[in-house]
Amino acid sequence: MNTLYNLRKKNNLEIDELTNKLNKIYGTDYEPHHLWEWENHQKDPKMKDALILADFFNSSYEEFLDSKMRQRYKELYDVEIRGINK
C-alpha cells in the first residue's frame, strides 16, 4: 500500500511513531509489523483499520483498500454471462 507509505513519509513519521500515535489516539493495539505488512502489500487492512488510517491522515478510506477494491472490481467485471446475446 504505497498510499500509507507516502502519507507516513509526507508527515515525517517513522513506522514506530505512527504505530504509537494510532494506538494512543484510537485505542488500537497495532504493532509496527502490521503497518509494514500493509505498506508492503503483504496484507490488506480491514475496513475498521482503513477507517482509522483515513481519519488520522484526513483522507478517503478507499485509498487504503486499493488492492481489495481492485480485486473485487476485477471479479465483478470478469463474469461471463452466456446466452445473453442470443
User: Cα–Cα distance between 12 and 83 in angstroms, integer?
Assistant: 56
Give residue for cell 500493509: 38
Find out whether 68 and 44 touch, Cβ atoms under 8 Å: yes
pTM: 0.76
Domain count, the chain: 1
- For 24-55, the pLDDT digits (tens) are 999 999 999 999 999 988 888 999 999 999 99
Q: What is the pLDDT of residue 86?
A: 54
- For 49-75, the pLDDT digits (tens) are 999 999 999 998 888 887 666 666 666
More confident residue, 59 or 86: 59
Which CATH number do you get for residue 54?
A: 1.10.260
Which range marks the domain in which residue 55 is found?
3-84
